[in-house]
């Protein structure tokens, strides 16, 4: 059957259409994206304003039309940290439902981490052993660890690349003092969670997902997206540590000229790099592998599992 997953994230609203059935690998059939940047549309009270809600409604309508055009039989709509943390989340959800008929399921941070972990586990299989999974989104950092399909530990921290850029790095390029302050903040937040994971022992394999990690790996020399899903892509901490001071001295336009960096993500790349560097350092990770599957695939796999057991 043809499934669609509608991901209302902090940076983008992304419709992924796949052909799938229980027991089979989901095959991508279509992708429809809109850069909405909901996290940046919050007002001083933490609410998404009327203009932002109207934009979201329009984008959801466009995604619904794309899903219909592509023959989607079952749509799985969800929202992550930007909607979850908005002070008027109930109003946003009600407006979207009333005006489009789409009822967004708001995932908790822990649910995001667990579903992303499921996708990574299915991608790498049981032979990968104990997995440590890192995922930097626009609003949050998800961390999960475990040996099964359900992680033994999962955490979500307010360390998304978009959130941190807006709140900590106003300059272009940012002031060195602002970069140092953000670095201290990131590491303090991550350090609070390290002990929760350390008690389970060392991972056998460390994996990262998300656009931020993919772009950091690409500028550090990993293969292009055009080279295909099955090319192994790694990010070494040594390479990342060398790139952080270079990124901090660049303007947004200069970062956008780097290989694999999109215009829409260039402004957030430094904050994402500081989070990635901090996580790899504090968790003692020298190298990690990039996984092409993440939260959207986890949502699809969970739906297929439920269909198979029905």
What is the CATH number for 12?
A: 3.30.420.40
For residue range 37-51, list pLDDT tens digits in order.
888 788 889 999 999
- Report yes or no on 59 lying in a domain: yes
Domain end call among 106, 121, 140: 106
Q: Are residues 253 and 277 in the same domain?
A: yes
- Coil/strand/helix, residue 195: helix
Rounded distance between C-alpha atoms, residue 234 and residue 229, angstroms: 13
Say if residue 240 is in the same domain as residue 139.
yes
Residues making up the chain, counted from first to last: 310
Q: Give the CA radius of gyration of the chain.
A: 19
Distance from C-alpha of 260 to C-alpha of 19, rounded to nearest angstrom: 27
Query: pLDDT of 140-195, one tens digit each?
Result: 999 999 999 999 999 999 999 999 999 999 999 999 999 999 999 999 999 999 99
**Residue 262 burial (CB count, 10 A):** 12
Neighbours of 299 (CB within 10 A): 26
Cis check: omega of the bond before 173, within 30 degrees of 0: yes
The CA distance from 275 to 279, in Å, is: 6
Place of tokens 């070494």: 236
Give the model's pLDDT for residue 307.
83
**For residue 284, is it left (φ>0), alpha (ψ between -120 and 50) or beta?**
left
Domain termination residue (choose one: 106, 127, 159): 106
* For residues 90-115, average pLDDT: 97
Contact, 299 vs 76, CB < 8 A?
yes
**Count of the separate structural domains present in the chain:** 2
- What SS3 class is residue 104? coil
pLDDT over 60 at 310, yes or no = no
Residues 6+ apart with CB under 8 A from 191: 282
Which of 83, 106, 129 represents a domain boundary (last residue)? 106
Query: 40 by DSSP, 3-state: which?
Result: helix
Query: In the sheet where 27-35 sits, what is the strand order?
Result: 27-35, 12-19, 2-8, 74-79, 105-106
Beta bridge partners of 76: 5
Q: Which two tokens stand for residue 187?
A: 């590491």
Whether the per-residue pLDDT at 214 is higher than 60: the answer is yes
List the domain range (segments joined by +) for residue 247.
110-295
């Amino acid at each position: 059957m043809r499934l669609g997953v509608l991901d209302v994230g902090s940076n983008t609203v992304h419709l992924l259409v796949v052909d799938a059935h229980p027991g089979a690998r989901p095959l991508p059939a279509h992708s429809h994206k809109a850069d909405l940047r909901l996290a940046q549309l919050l007002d001083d009270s933490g609410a998404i304003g009327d203009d932002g809600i109207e934009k979201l409604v329009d984008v959801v309508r466009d995604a619904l039309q794309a899903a219909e055009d592509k023959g989607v039989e079952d749509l799985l709509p969800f929202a992550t940290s930007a909607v979850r943390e908005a002070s008027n989340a109930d109003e946003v959800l009600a407006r979207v439902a009333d005006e489009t008929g789409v009822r967004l399921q708001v995932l908790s941070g822990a649910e995001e981490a667990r579903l992303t972990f499921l996708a990574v586990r299915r991608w790498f299989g049981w032979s990968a052993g104990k997995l440590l999974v890192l995922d930097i989104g626009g609003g949050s950092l998800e961390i999960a660890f475990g040996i099964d399909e359900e992680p033994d530990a999962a955490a979500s921290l307010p360390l998304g690349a978009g959130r941190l850029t807006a709140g900590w790095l106003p300059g272009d390029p940012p002031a060195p003092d602002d970069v140092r302050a953000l670095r201290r903040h990131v590491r303090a937040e991550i350090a609070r969670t390290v002990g929760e994971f350390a008690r389970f022992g060392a991972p056998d394999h460390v994996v990262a997902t998300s656009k931020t990690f993919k772009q950091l790996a690409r500028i550090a020399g990993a293969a292009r997206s055009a080279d295909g899903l099955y090319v192994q892509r790694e990010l070494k901490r040594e390479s990342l540590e060398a790139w952080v001071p270079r990124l901090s001295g660049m303007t947004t336009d200069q970062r956008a000229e780097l290989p694999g960096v999109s215009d829409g993500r260039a402004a957030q790349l430094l904050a994402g790099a500081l989070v990635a560097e901090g996580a790899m350092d504090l968790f003692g990770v020298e190298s990690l592998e990039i996984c092409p599957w993440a939260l959207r695939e986890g949502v699809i796999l969970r739906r297929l599992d439920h269909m198979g057991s029905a």
